[in-house]
Structure 1
Amino acid sequence: MDGAGGSVHVFDFIREKSMMESAGRTALRAAIQANYESCLSCHACRTQCPVHVATGLLAPLGLLRMAALGMGERLKQASELWYCLQCRRCTLACPSEVAPSTLIRRMREQGQWAGGEGEVAFKQLQRDHQRVRWHLANALLWGQDGQRVVDDWSGWAGRPIAVDDDVWELGDAREAEEGLAACMTCGSCTTVCPIAHERAVFDPVRLFRWVNLGGERQVLGSPSLWLCLGCGQCTSHCTQRVDGQRLIEGLRQRSVALGVVPSDMRERFTELDRGVLRGYVREVQGLLGRLALQELKNQ
C-alpha cells in the first residue's frame, strides 16, 4: 500500500511538474511572440546569422530549443543573447515564420544585464561597433587598407565622426528611387533601426532627406550607405509605405554603377566586416566578464 501510495504521489508530482512546465512555455511564448514550436530545425537561421558565420558563437536554433523546453531563466542568462545584431536575417530566412530575433530581443529586455550600468555599457559598445564599421567603409572608399581598421578595433572605435551635413552640396532635388518622395522625414525608420545609434554614423531618415533635397551624389559616396543590415524594420514601420531597405540597396547599386565607389566595394566590405564583427563579439565577452566580476564583488 505504501509503495502504491508512493507511486501515486510520484506520478502526481510528475504530472504537476509537467503542467507547470507547459504553463511556463505558454507564458514564455506569449511574452516573446515567437511560435518556436513551429521550428523545423532546418538551420536556415544559423546559415543566415552573420554572427554565426563570423564566429560560430551564436546559434539561434539552440536558443529556440531552450525556449521550447521552458528554460526561460537559463535563457535570460545566455551570453549569446548579447552577440545578436538584431539584423532579423534569421527571422526573414525562416520558412516556418519563427522569429528568433524577437525571442532574443525579449529575453534581453528581461535579462540579467537589462537596465542599469550594464545596459548603458552595452549600448556604448553597439555605438562603437557601428563607428568601427563606418571607418572600415570609409577606408575602402578611399582605396585604403581596411584590414588596419579590423586589427585596431578599440582604436578606431574611439575616433569620433563629425556630422558633415554642412559641407554636403545640393544639386537639383529629384526622386532618386520610386516612392522616396513620400518620405515625410518623421524619423520612424531611425527609431526602429538597430544600428542608428549616432546620426553621423548611420541615420536612414538623414540619407533619405538628402537624396530628396538633391544631395544624392554625397549619399552615394557616404560610408553610411554600406552599414545597413537589411533588417527591413524601416520599411515595416514607415507610415508612408516607403521601402527604405530597397531604396538603400538601390543607392548602393547606383554608387557602383556610377563608379562612385570601387566595383568590388560590396565584396571587400562584407569580408572585412566579419573581422570587425569578431572584434565586437570579443568586446561583448569582455564586458560580460567585467559585469559578472563586479556582481561577485558586490555580493
Structure 2
Amino acid sequence: MTSKKAMPSELGFVHMFKLRERLHKSIEKILNFQKTSTNKQILGDVLNNKTLYLKREFYYPVEKVEGYKNMGSLNFKKYQSIRKLLLEINENIWKNSLQTKINKLIKYLNDEEINSLQKDDFIWYKDIIQDQNGNEHNPSPGEQAILKLTNYLELEQDCYFLDEPENGLDNHFINEIIVQKINKLARDGKAVIIVTHNANIGVRTLPYLTIYRELNKNQNTENKTYLGNSFKETMHNIQNEETDFIWADICEKILEGGEEAFNDRSNYYGK
C-alpha cells in the first residue's frame, strides 16, 4: 500500500467532455435549423390548362409563424418554452450549472406531463400548393373536387364507387375528362358504381346496368326499383309488376328534368 493519492482518470474526463459535446451539437441542430422544403409533387391538372404541385416546407420557428403546424404533439407555447430551456442548457454546456439547467427542463416536462420529446416535436411544417409557374395557388372547392376525383380514378383497383361525382364540377370538364376516364375503366374491365343526376355521366358512359328507384309519397306503399340499360331500352320492375319504363324516358326525366326542359334548352341553344 502507498500513501499516494489517486490521480483523476483521463478517461472519465474525456467521456464527460464527449457527452457534453454531443448534447451541444444536438441542441445546435434544433436552435439553428434552416428552413427547408421537399421536392414538388404533382397533384394533378385542373381547369384552364393549369397543373398544381405540392411541396412541404419545414421550419424550427423562433416566433410563431402563421400557417405552420407542429409535426409532433406540442402547441407553440410549449414548444417555445422548451426551446428557451434548451437555449439555457446550451449556454451553460461547459459550466458547473449545466445540471441545474437540465433539471429545470426535466421539471417543466414533468409539470406539463410531457413524457418524452421526439424529433417531430421540434419540426413545424406548411403545405404549399403552386401552379406550373411556381405561383402559390389556393384551390377552389371545384378544383379540390377535380383533384380528388381524378386522383381516385387513377388508382389501380378492381372496383370504384362514385357518389354524385358531378358536385362542384362544370359539365365541360365532366364530359371531356371524367366521362372519358370512366369509359376507359370500363374498357379495362373495371367495375364503376355511380350515383348521379348528371346526364353526361348517366348516358354517355353507356352503363351496363341502370338502377332507378321510384319513391312513393305514400309511406304505406313500398318503393319500386327498376333495372335496365340502353341496349335493352327498357327498365324492368324487379317486383314483376306491369310498370316497366323506357330507359330513355327515365334518363330524360331524372337527368334532364323532363322532355319539356330538354326541348327548351335545345331551343335556347338554337339547335
Structure with more contact order per residue of length (Cα contacts < 8 Å, sep ≥ 6): 1
Higher strand share: 2
- TM-score where L is the length of structure 1: 0.25
Higher helix share: 1
- TM-score where L is the length of structure 2: 0.27
Greater Rg by CA: 2
